[in-house]
Structure 1
C-alpha cells in the first residue's frame, strides 16, 4: 500500500505541544537526511513544515502547554470540510481513539513524550485509512478539570482574604455615605431620588437595599459585597485565562490581579466598582464561550443579559462592549482563509452584532437618563499633563509608582510575546487560526479591553466634557493582570522562579494595601473617630441629659453637611435632636437633606442641655454658632480638632443662684476671635473663608481636588 502524506487535523500537528524542557526537534520523516517517502510532496530546503511552525509557536506563546479549552465539534467539522492543501481529503475520516487511550496520553509526564503503543484495533484502523491516531484534546501538561477548578477556588479565596482584611477599619467617606443614604430608603423614595440625581447608580443602590434588608447596615456589611466580588473576580480570571492561554499563566494573572492596589481598594469600597469588574470578567468569559460554541444560542442570550445588567450597574461598562467589538473584528480578520471557515466566522460575527445591538438598545434609555444628570461629574478635571500620571500610576497602582514601573513594562512585554506567537501561527497553513483552536486569543481579548475604554474616555473628554477618572476604569484591571502574567511565566518557566517573582510584586504592593486599611485611608476621613467621640462623651453624661447636635459644613462637598457622619454611623447619634434639620433627603427626593438657619431654630436649641457642633475645619461655623448660642446660656466646655473636622461641646452655664445667665461668652481659648462675628449669610452662619465655595475673596489655600 502506498503511504499517504502525514495528515494534520484541524487542531494542528499530530505531535503533542511541547512543554518546558522539550526540544523542538522535527519528526524523523521531516529530517533532511532521510529520504522522501512515496507520495510525499517535495519541499524546498528553506520551507517551514507545520511541525516547525508548531515548535515556534510553542516557544513563543505556549511554553508550558496548550490552553485548557478544547476545540468544539462544529470547529472540527468546519476544518474537515476545508482540509489543508497538502492533506489528502480521504485522510480526514479518522476513527476516534478510546477513552482509555485518551486518559493515558493526557496523564503522561509533560517532560517526556508518551511511548505507549496504539492498541491493535486502533493500529488496524489507522492502517486501513492510512491516517495516524487523532491526538489528545489536551497536551500532556494541561491540568485536569478538577485541578483547574481547585486552583480557581484557591486563588479566589486568596483574593477574598486580601480584599476583606480589616475592611471595617477605614472610616466611611462621602461616596460611601451616598450609598448608605440611598440604599436605606424605601424603593419608592429611591425611585423618586434617581429621577433627579444618581440614576447611574440606581441598580447598585437597589441591590444594596436588598442586601441591607438581609443583613442590616454597618461599615462591615457595606463593604463585604465588594470584597466577595473581588474574590470571585480573582477566581474567574483563572478560568478566563485558562480559556485563552495556559493554566499557569491564568493562575499567576489571578494572583497579580488582587495584588493591584486599585483592586485592593475596590475590595474595601462600598461602591459598585468591584461588582462592575466582576461583571466585566464574566461578560468577557461568556464572549469567549460564545465564539467557540458556534451554533448555540444560549451564550449570546447570556451575553445580552449581562451586558444590559452591567451597564445598569455602571454606565461606563458600555465601553467594554466597544472593546469587544474591536476584539471580534480582529478575530474575524484572522479567519477569512477558506470558504468553510469564512462562512462560520461570518455566522459567529453576525451573532455578536445582533447580541451587541440588542444590549445597546436595552441600555439606551438608562444612558439617556444618565446623560441628563451630567452635572454630577462636573467635578472631573479636564485632560491635562496630570492625566498621564493618573493613567500610569493612579488608574491601577494607586500611590505606588514603583509597582507601576514593574506592571506596565511586564504588560508591554506580554503583548510582544503574544503578538509574535500569533503571527507565527497565522502563517501556518495547517492551523485554523487562533492559539486556542480557532477561538479568541488573549491578545485579541486583553489589548482592546485595556486600550479601548481608556481611549474612548480620553477622546470624549477632549471633544465633549471631562469624563476621565482613574477609578472609573477599574474594570480594565483584569486585562493588564493577564498581560503581566505572560512574560513572568514565559521567561522564568520554573515554578520556584515564578513564585519568587510573584512574591517580589506582592512585597512592593504590600505598603499600598496596608495603607488602604488605616482609619483615615479614605479621603482623609475621620468620621469614625467623630462618631466614637460623640458616643464616648454621651456615655459619660448624667442619665436624662438632653443632647442636641448642629451639623455644619463637611470638607470638599459644599452641597452636603456633616450630617453624613450620622448617616454613616447612626448608632452614635441615636436619640439626639438635629437642631438645623428641615426635611431629610429621603422625603424630598434628593440625596441630602435641607436645613433651617440656626437663627430660626433657637427655640429648639434652648430645650437641650448639651449641644455638639460638628463642622469643617475650613468652612468653620464655630464662631457663628458660639455667638448664636451664647444668649441662651451655652458656653464651650470642650473642643476637639480631628482630621478635617472640629467638634465642640456646648453646655448651659448656670450662675451661683442656679439661674441661667442672660448671656454667656465663648472662651477665647477655644475659638478664634476672628470667627466670633455675627453670621451674615442666608443660613445664619458665618461667611465662608477665603477660597471656600461662596467666598468672594481670593483663595489662601489650594483648592481641594476629588479623591482618586
Structure 2
C-alpha cells in the first residue's frame, strides 16, 4: 500500500512538472516585448470597442462584429481596470500559457508526463502560438478553450478504470463541464464549432460504446443550442468577411509552417515524428489513444473549413489556431516512440 501511494505521488509530481514547464515557458515568451508601442488595425478595434459602455457594445454587435461580442465584453472588464497596450494583450498571453499547460496535460494523461512536457514545449514555441499570444484578439482564448474541452472529453471517456463502462459511470458533471466549455469557446469565435467534428472523429476512431456517444451528443447539442442565436445574427453580417478568398495549396503550406516552423530543418523532422506517432498500435475498444485525439484535432477543423471555403470563403489560418494543439502532441508521441 505504501509503495503504491509513493508511486502515485511521484507520478503526480511528474505530471505537475510537465504542465508547469510549458506554462512558464509560454509566459516568458509571451511577456517578452509585449509593449511594442503601437497597435495594428484589429487590436485598435478591440481597444476602441471594449472601452465603450456595455449598452454601446451591445448596440454595436447588432450591426457588426457579433462574432467577437463575448470577447469585447470580457475585454471591457479588463480595460476598465487599466486601459493600455499591455493590458490589451495580457489576456492572450495568459490564454496561450494556459493552452500550453493543457496540451501538456493531454500528453501526460494520454501517454506519459515526458510526452506531455515535450508536447507543451513544442506548442509554446510554435510560430503561430507566439504570434497570437501577443495579439489583442480572441484567438489565443479560443485555442485555450479548445484544449480544455479536449481534456474534458478525455476525462469524460476515461472516467473509470474499465473503458468499456466509461459511458455508464462517467459523472454527469464531466459532460456538463465539457458542454459548457465548448459553448463558451464557440461564443468567443463561432468557427470553433468545428472542434465538435474533431471530437466526433476521435470517438468514432476509438469505437466508444453507445453510452459515451449519448453523453457526448447531449453535451454537444446543448453547446450548439447556445451558439445558434449568435450564428443567426452573424450570418446577417457575412459581408464583413467578403475579403476572404478560397484557400489554395499555399494556404496549406502556410498553415503547416505556422504549426511547426518555416525552416525545413525543423519542419521535416517535425512531420516525420508526427508520422511515427500514427504507426498502428493495437488498442482496446473504447480506449482513447493519443493519436486518436491529436490527429482529428489537428486535421479535421482546417480540412473542413478549407473544403467549405472553396464554395463560401471563410478560411483564415487564425480561425483554426485551436487545431494546432494536435500537432505537438503527435510530434511528442513520435519522439517517444523513436
| TM-score after normalising by structure 1 | 0.45
Give the 3-state SS of the residue equivalent to 1:236 in structure 2: helix
In the alignment, structure 1 residue 353 sits paired with structure 2 residue 255: no
| Aligned-partner Cα distance in 1 for 2:252–2:185 | 28
In the alignment, structure 1 residue 453 sits paired with structure 2 residue 319: no
Output one character per residue of 1:181-226: Cα deviation in whole Å (capped at 9) or x when no partner.
1100001000110101000000000000011112x11111111111
Question: What is the aligned partner in structure 1 of residue 74 from structure 2?
Answer: 207
Runs of 4+ in structure 1 deviating by more than 3 angstroms, as ranges, are 415-419
Higher helix share: 2
Alignment of 1:105-504 (within 5 A): 106=7, 143-169=10-36, 171-214=38-81, 216-293=82-159, 294=166, 295=169, 296-332=171-207, 345-393=209-257, 395-396=258-259, 401-402=262-263, 406-407=266-267, 409-421=269-281, 425-426=282-283, 432-433=284-285, 438-463=286-311, 465-491=312-338
Output one character per residue of 1:341-388: Cα deviation in whole Å (capped at 9) or x when no partner.
xxxx21112111111112112211111211111111111122334323
| Aligned-partner Cα distance in 2 for 1:467–1:477 | 18
| Aligned-partner Cα distance in 2 for 1:282–1:194 | 27
In the alignment, structure 1 residue 100 sits paired with structure 2 residue 2: yes
| Aligned-partner Cα distance in 2 for 1:204–1:157 | 25
C-alpha contact 1:153 1:235 (8 A) present in aligned 2: yes
C-alpha contact 1:163 1:258 (8 A) present in aligned 2: no
Relative to structure 1, the CA distance from residue 389 to residue 292 in structure 2 (aligned partners, 3 Å threshold; closer, same or farther) is closer
C-alpha contact 2:198 2:301 (8 A) present in aligned 1: yes
C-alpha contact 1:304 1:356 (8 A) present in aligned 2: yes
Structure 2: stretches of 5+ with no match in the other structure:
160-165
The Cα of 1:145 is off from its aligned counterpart by: 0.8
**Computing the radius of gyration over CA atoms, which structure comes out larger, 1 or 2?**
1
The Cα of 1:459 is off from its aligned counterpart by: 1.1
| Aligned-partner Cα distance in 1 for 2:5–2:58 | 57
Relative to structure 1, the CA distance from residue 170 to residue 470 in structure 2 (aligned partners, 3 Å threshold; closer, same or farther) is farther
235-244 or 182-191: bigger deviation = 235-244
Alignment of 1:490-639 (within 5 A): 490-491=337-338
Give the 3-state SS of the residue equivalent to 1:197 in structure 2: coil
The Cα of 1:101 is off from its aligned counterpart by: 4.4
| Aligned-partner Cα distance in 1 for 2:101–2:248 | 37
Alignment of 1:80-95 (within 5 A): none
Give the 3-state SS of the residue equivalent to 2:279 in structure 1: helix
Higher strand share: 1
C-alpha contact 1:419 1:443 (8 A) present in aligned 2: no
CA RMSD of aligned residues (A): 1.9
| Aligned-partner Cα distance in 1 for 2:180–2:125 | 30
C-alpha contact 1:200 1:370 (8 A) present in aligned 2: yes
| Aligned-partner Cα distance in 2 for 1:103–1:250 | 22
The Cα of 1:170 is off from its aligned counterpart by: 5.3
| Aligned-partner Cα distance in 2 for 1:408–1:347 | 41
Give the 3-state SS of the residue equivalent to 1:419 in structure 2: coil
The Cα of 1:230 is off from its aligned counterpart by: 1.2
Relative to structure 1, the CA distance from residue 483 to residue 183 in structure 2 (aligned partners, 3 Å threshold; closer, same or farther) is same
Give the 3-state SS of the residue equivalent to 1:471 in structure 2: helix
C-alpha contact 2:276 2:337 (8 A) present in aligned 1: no
Relative to structure 1, the CA distance from residue 101 to residue 143 in structure 2 (aligned partners, 3 Å threshold; closer, same or farther) is closer
The Cα of 1:289 is off from its aligned counterpart by: 0.5
C-alpha contact 2:19 2:116 (8 A) present in aligned 1: no
The Cα of 1:267 is off from its aligned counterpart by: 1.2
The Cα of 1:103 is off from its aligned counterpart by: 4.2
